[in-house]
Structure 1
Amino acid sequence: MAKKSKRYSEIAAKVDSTKLYGLREAVDLYKEVATAKFDESLEVHIRLGVDPRHADQQVRGTIVLPHGTGITKRVLVLAVGEKVKEAEDAGADIVGGDDLIQKISTGWLDFDAVIATPDMMKSVGRLGKILGPRGLMPSAKAGTVTFDVADAIKEIKAGRVEFRVDKTAIIHNMVGKKSFEAEKLFENLKVLYRAILKARPASAKGTYVRSFYIAPTMGVGIKIDPVAASKEVAEA
């Protein structure tokens, strides 16, 4: 059995594993236990009572976090014609067409988000096996297949994130950094949780949120009471 570090043991002693915390209380505790020597993320892990194998039980959406993620995203735009200049003027980091598609097909992935205009999707489609597993494939549902590239770029730069249930019915996201004020982390977390609640599929039966944890990048998970969290979100 691996021996736990002194730091980990000290953190674990501060988190009551038998307790269900409220959102605000959990964020305050996160600030206390995020003690690594770098700017740790606040990670969110929510298990849902859905069966992702069924199309009518997919949970997916996009939100703009009011205080961003703390990460500056390198945005690539696939477009042609006048949309190239529009993308450049809006602050895209990389803009191109078939030349970039060819470059990506060889394994180049020096970007964090991809936006494509609808007329490029026929060519972009062949990148599905490369971009899909990395969560980078443009899609209309995520707002990354659009002719309104300027707004899409601005939203991503401002902190737009996508949430999506994985094959094990869990949503994994990050909503900020240790360096954020607790109130800003709390507000970001509320926005994400509210969106997940609103995205409940009509076909989902029984308990929707089965478990809800937040955690620093290198630390102990803090278990949140989903019912109490729902009330905190409703008060906003």
Structure 2
Amino acid sequence: MMKRGKKYVEAAKLYDKTQQYDVAEAVGIVKKTSTAKFDETVEAHIRLGVDGRHADQQIRGAVVLPHGTGKKVRVLVFAKGDKVDEALAAGADYAGGEELVPKIQNDGWFEFDVVVATPDMMGVVGRLGRVLGPKGLMPNPKAGTVTMDVTKAVNDIKAGKIEYRLDKANIVHVPVGKVSFTEEQLTDNVNTLIAAITKAKPASAKGQYYRSFTLASTMGPGVKLNVAKLV
């Protein structure tokens, strides 16, 4: 068993770990139990009753959180010609084409958090699959990051769009804001995420969809939501 710090132990005493809470209550507890000296990220960990090994039960998509994530997101856009200028005008941090490949592949340049590409650039981006894939940076049509509408893609990402997808254990891990957000802002963000994940439920998913839903700050204890109320 990992030894917990004194602050963590004190924080964990502030609520009943066996209880399941509604969203607003859980958010209040997460804010109260955050003790780090930095502005911690609030994360959602959602275990779903699906089997991601089956193509028809894959859950993947994106949602714009109404209050953003509190994190400055750096966007790289792969595009050609006018689309490069359009991407930069929309607020992309970097935009370009083939010339970026060696920079990423050989120089190990990763000064970006999200990659967007126009469809005609996917051949080029595909050559970076081995380096971008493991970092979860490959553009994907389902997440809205392969598109000709680079302005919308960049605007959405800058506004607080997050991607969600199942990991190998059928759990979705996503940031939903910062501890410094108000309870209302965090509650709004969590409810927006729940609506998106509920809508993404595959028709072939059987039984209970939400198996568990935990909210936690980076260093704080996990607070369980009442999953019966989520569906």
The TM-score range, normalised by the shorter chain, is over 0.9
Q: Do residues 34 (structure 1) and 34 (structure 2) align?
A: yes
Shift of 1:3: 4.0
C-alpha RMSD of matched pairs (Å): 1.1
SS at match of 2:45: strand
**Runs (5+) with no aligned partner, structure 1:** 231-236
For residues 178-219 of structure 1, give each alpha carbon's deviation from its aligned partner in whole angstroms, at most 9, with x where no partner exists.
Answer: 111110000000000111111111111111111110001001
- Counterpart CA distance in 1 for 2:80 and 2:196 is 34
Aligned to 1:217: 218
Letter in 2 for 1:227: A
Q: Percent identity, aligned pairs only? A: 57
Q: Do residues 172 (structure 1) and 173 (structure 2) align?
A: yes
Note closer, same or farther for the CA distance 1:61–1:10 as it changes in structure 2 (3 Å cut). same
Letter in 2 for 1:93: D
**Runs (5+) with no aligned partner, structure 2:** none
- Counterpart CA distance in 2 for 1:162 and 1:185 is 17
Letter in 1 for 2:178: K
* TM-score for both structures, normalised by structure 1: 0.95
Letter in 2 for 1:9: V
Show the 5 A alignment for 1:143-154: 143-154=144-155
| Residues paired across the two proteins, number | 230
SS at match of 1:28: helix
Show the 5 A alignment for 1:11-30: 11-30=11-30
Contact 1:42 1:214 survives alignment (8 Å):
yes
Contact 1:75 1:114 survives alignment (8 Å):
yes
Contact 1:22 1:229 survives alignment (8 Å):
no
Contact 2:26 2:225 survives alignment (8 Å):
yes
Letter in 2 for 1:173: V
Aligned to 1:138: 139
Aligned to 1:47: 47
Shift of 1:2: 5.1
For residues 102-128 of structure 1, give each alpha carbon's deviation from its aligned partner in whole angstroms, at most 9, with x where no partner exists.
Answer: 211122111011111111101111211
Shift of 1:15: 2.7
Note closer, same or farther for the CA distance 1:203–1:92 as it changes in structure 2 (3 Å cut). same
Aligned to 2:9: 9
Aligned to 1:83: 83
Aligned to 2:113: 112
Note closer, same or farther for the CA distance 1:151–1:16 as it changes in structure 2 (3 Å cut). same
- Counterpart CA distance in 2 for 1:221 and 1:70 is 20
For residues 126-185 of structure 1, give each alpha carbon's deviation from its aligned partner in whole angstroms, at most 9, with x where no partner exists.
Answer: 211211121110011111111110111011000011111111100000110011111000
Contact 1:117 1:147 survives alignment (8 Å):
yes
For residues 4-34 of structure 1, give each alpha carbon's deviation from its aligned partner in whole angstroms, at most 9, with x where no partner exists.
Answer: 3221110111131111111110001111011
- Counterpart CA distance in 2 for 1:205 and 1:2 is 35
- Counterpart CA distance in 2 for 1:18 and 1:2 is 20
Note closer, same or farther for the CA distance 1:44–1:80 as it changes in structure 2 (3 Å cut). same
Aligned to 1:62: 62
SS at match of 1:203: coil
Aligned to 1:234: none
Aligned to 1:190: 191
Letter in 1 for 2:205: A
Aligned to 2:124: 123
Q: Do residues 73 (structure 1) and 73 (structure 2) align?
A: yes
- Counterpart CA distance in 2 for 1:166 and 1:12 is 27
- Counterpart CA distance in 2 for 1:151 and 1:5 is 44
- Counterpart CA distance in 1 for 2:72 and 2:5 is 32
